[in-house]
Structure 1
Amino acid sequence: MNDRRSFYFLWVSQMMANAGDVLYIVGLIQLVYLSSGSVLTLTLIPMTITFSRLIGSFLTPLLLHRFPLRRILLFSMFGKIVVLSAVFLLKDESILWVLLLVSMIAFLDGWAAPIRQAMLPEFVGISALPKANSLVAISDNTVNLVSWPLGAFFVVQFNGDVLIVVTIVLYIFGWLMTFGIKSIIYVRRELPSLKEQLSGGWKYSFSEKSIRNILILDMLTAFAGAVWISAILYVYVDEVLGQNEAWWGYINAFYSGGFIIGGYLFAKLVKVSGQRMIVVGCFLTSFLTVCFIYPQFAVVSLVISLFLGLFGQLQMIAQLTILQTHTETNQLGHVFSVQSVLVMGAFGVATFLFGWVAETYGITSAFYLSAIVMFGIGLFAIMQKKTLTYAN
């Protein structure tokens, strides 16, 4: 199937959903902090989201064996509308109620991410897939770059209640746009056992060498990327740069800007082999991470952040495109479910590890560890050259 119209409906609906995901978190953080006054309580929100998304992604194969992709996406988005409405009504209740509802939204998100990635190759075709991935990456990062400061502005001018209402409206529009997506042909088959439903995607993913290697790269890249979490960057700004908190925001903004530029650049470099982009991205990210530790001037850290985002984006889109082109159509949802579990699991483990390393051995040690891991990923990509190519 090659359906440009469905691609644009999917693209716009997910942009609205992504913007809503950021805005409601900003609003919720303000509401929870005002009611509890506890920073520790705030940390429970991202932990709950990560854990719930992981579970949602792990259980996605149970839905893939029963329903068409579009129906799963519609149900996920409608469920988020209902649950977020409940968050708005119960925001003044116990924090446990709020965390339960937040976990339900994240659980539904755990379905949506692999489903969107599985739909893309169906709608654009293999030849247009690199440019489509580039466009989606640009829009995702632009939405994130705009939504965080926009959310902060709304919180200052109004309050968290308004942001949650705005998010509900965005979710509704995104849900309505999803009806414009043409349903992918779904062949109902006899259901395998529960164990086979949950393990089938894992067996397939690790039996195909190209898919297995990309999943390993995705997992290790997510692990190394955990060093860029807000808590570590916050300490870096204070101890290494010796600047105020505003620089934490500047670094994030330049990093996101690099991601956007990388998305544009990838569309111009579609003839460059995926393996070369991965290798160059890994080695330059490793080198720039070390440079980031010892900037001559604070402003140099911003330039480094920009290029870290740029090369990181090139690597990520190349890995995504290789994964999509090597996966059979009926296995796309299963493979991206596996990918989500591995990436979120690796990121979660690495978050604690990098935090411990930074606390025990100093903030620079955490960045050195990340640089070493990225260098190792580059060596792995060189050794697996034959499997890291775009399939026709």
Structure 2
Amino acid sequence: MFKKSFYYLWGSQALSNTVDVFYLVALMTFVLSTTNSIMFATLVPFIRVTAQLASGFLAPLMVANYRLPFLLTISQSGQFLLFSLLAFYLSPWIGGNSFLLIYGIIACISFLDGWTTPARNALVPRLVSDEVLMKANGMVATTDQVVQFAGWALSGLMVAKLGAFPVLVIVAAGYGIAMLVTFWIEDPLEPPRRGIWDRRTASKQGYMALKEAQTASDPSSEIKSPTRWDTLKEGWVLIWKSPRLRALTVMDVTDMFGGSVWAGAFMLVFVKEVLLKDEQWWGYINASYFAGAVIGGLLVVAFVGRLEKRIFAAMLAGMLGYALLTTLFAVNSYAPLALLLVLLTGPMTELAAVSRRTLIQRSASKERLPQIFSAQATLLNTVFGISLLAMSGIAEWLGIVNMYLFAAGITLLAICTGIVNRSSFRKEVHIVEP
């Protein structure tokens, strides 16, 4: 069963992710046209990722003290206000050109966005019944891929036709609508909100009430609350103490380390050096990759009933299929076949990713999922950044073909991790509290 709040969450995040793509393209276009510097333009996504990483470190403090819908509302409201300010500053009427201010606003917007994905992933199992959880994850994953697939192409066309500033206005309006939708999201694990700014979690409110009552009856007594350090490390401790969560996290991290090979720059080198084609074919392969991911998400939703019965096997099958297809892609030099292979990796990638996310959501209590997803998001973002540097070195020293073969080998290591820890997936795993 899907609660109404799930559709509000799904819609608001889909819209927010769409305008995120629009604003990245519009801002990079604006910076590039203003400075004629590729370095200044690439600072936009770099600052974004860095700010999100910093936000991820602090996310456990936020999710421990504040309701998840409130965090989403604050995030969307802050992004709407900041981006409106940025659009006005860059408008023809003001003509702002201080890149220090522009980058500062981008950092603040990205910081606010840093806790939305952990909050969303933790909210999904609260807003749907367990029997449709995998279907819900498939729906969210498909939407994410549609946004990536259509967003980059559409935003480029819009910037080319309308110019950067009109697109920025559209982005600000999109953030505003996403902000309004979050007002209707309710967390079933929390008492109904008395208002938009009813922000504290029930556990936090209970602790504060207990502390006040205890202090009134016995001023010398003291009820100790978890320190900030305890809160920050809680998600990491939960992951470490649960064999299933630990295995899934290692698999996620290992897979992420190899997943960076599909970044645009690597594929461009492969197209030119191996397929002996130009940038046009690079665009075809990018489109094929995202189209495959969209098809994969739709297939997961369509066959969710069968996949649910063998979700662990489905996860391993998806990863194995991805590794084999990546290997074939690496050793192939025929361009049309490369398009087909990239298209087929999409269903395998989505099958593995949706299965893993569903298993993670079922491996801990719903109250602890925000802390767990916050820790994982921080870890995965860090690993992705390291992976880009490492894969660049491998491509430089060993060649682009060996880089893709290396990535396929890394996925096989992730599969081995799952097989070695398969016993933890055959039983319900109790999460030991820190």
TM-score class, shorter = over 0.9
Name the counterpart of 1:178.
182
Q: Quick check: 86-95 or 231-240, which moved more?
A: 86-95
Q: Separation in 2 of the partners of 1:301 and 1:102?
A: 37
* Structure index of larger Rg: 2
Cα deviation per residue 1:309-352 (whole Å; 9 max; x = unaligned)? 11011000000000001111111110110110111111000001
- Read off the aligned partner of 1:340 and give its amino acid letter: A
Name the amino acid aligned to 1:112. Answer: T
Say if 2:127 and 2:187, in contact at 8 Å, map to a contact too.
no
1:93 to 86, 90, 97: 97
Structure 1 residues 220 and 239, CA, compared in 2 at 3 Å: closer, same or farther? same
Measured against aligned partners, the alpha-carbon deviations of 1:75-105 in whole angstroms (never above 9, x if no partner) come to 0001111121232234432323222221212
**For structure 1, which segment, 378-387 or 124-133, has the greater mean C-alpha deviation from structure 2 after superposition?**
378-387
SS of alignment partner, residue 271 of structure 1: helix
Q: Which moved more, 1:13-22 or 1:85-94?
A: 85-94
Secondary structure of residue in 1 paired with 2:202: coil
Distance 1:152 1:4, change over 3 A: same
Aligned to 2:73: 74
Q: Is the 8 A contact 2:75 2:113 kept in 1?
A: yes
Deviation track 1:30-70 (CA, whole Å, cap 9, x = no partner) reads: 00101111112222222222221111112111112221111
Counterpart position of 2:42:
43
What residue in structure 1 maps to residue 214 of structure 2?
none
Structure 2: how far apart are the matches of 1:49 and 1:391? 38
Aligned residue for 2:265? 231
**Conserved in 2, the CA contact under 8 Å of 1:45 and 1:99?**
yes
Q: CA deviation at 1:271?
A: 3.1
- Counterpart CA distance in 1 for 2:256 and 2:100 is 29
Identify if the C-alpha distance between structure 1 residues 389 and 15 changes in structure 2 by more than 3 Å, giving closer, same or farther: farther
Residue 361 of structure 1, aligned match among 394, 398, 407: 398
Segments of structure 1 that go 5 or more residues without pairing to the other structure are: none
> Which moved further from structure 2: 292-301 or 110-119?
292-301
CA displacement, residues 92-137 of structure 1 (integer Å, 9 cap, x when unaligned): 3232322222121211111100000111001102111011011111
Does the CA-based 8 Å contact 1:322-1:390 persist in structure 2?
A: no
Distance 1:77 1:345 in 2: 24
Equivalent in the alignment of 1:28: 27
Q: Which residue does the alignment assign to 1:337?
A: 374
Q: Which amino acid aligns with 1:161?
A: F
After TM superposition, the structure 1 = structure 2 runs for residues 234-249 of structure 1, keeping only pairs within 5 Å, are 234-249=268-283
Q: What is the TM-score with the length of structure 2 in the denominator?
A: 0.87
Q: 1:150 and 2:154 equivalent?
A: yes
- Give the Cα–Cα distance (whole angstroms) in 2 for the partners of residues 3 and 287 of structure 1: 36
Residue 197 of structure 1 is matched in structure 2 by 231
Structure 2 CA distance for partners of 1:240 and 1:100, relative to 1, 3 Å: same
Which portions of structure 1, spanning 4 or more consecutive aligned residues, are displaced by more than 4 angstroms? 389-392
CA offset at residue 262 of structure 1?
A: 1.3
| Percent of paired sites with the same residue | 29
* Structure 1 residue 128 corresponds to structure 2 residue 143: no
Question: 1:74–1:175: 8 Å Cα contact kept in structure 2?
Answer: yes
Deviation digits for residues 4-40 of structure 1 (CA, Å, limit 9, x no counterpart):
2111111111111010100000100100101111112
Alignment correspondent of 1:374: 411
Q: Give, as a single letter, the amino acid of the residue that structure 2 aligns with 1:39.
A: I
Give the distance between the partners of 2:309 and 2:80, measured in 1 at CA: 42
- Matched-pair contact (CA < 8 Å) for 1:293–1:367: yes
Map of 1:188 onto structure 2: 203
Matched with 1:215 is: 249
Tell me the distance in 1 between the aligned counterparts of 2:284 and 2:348.
19
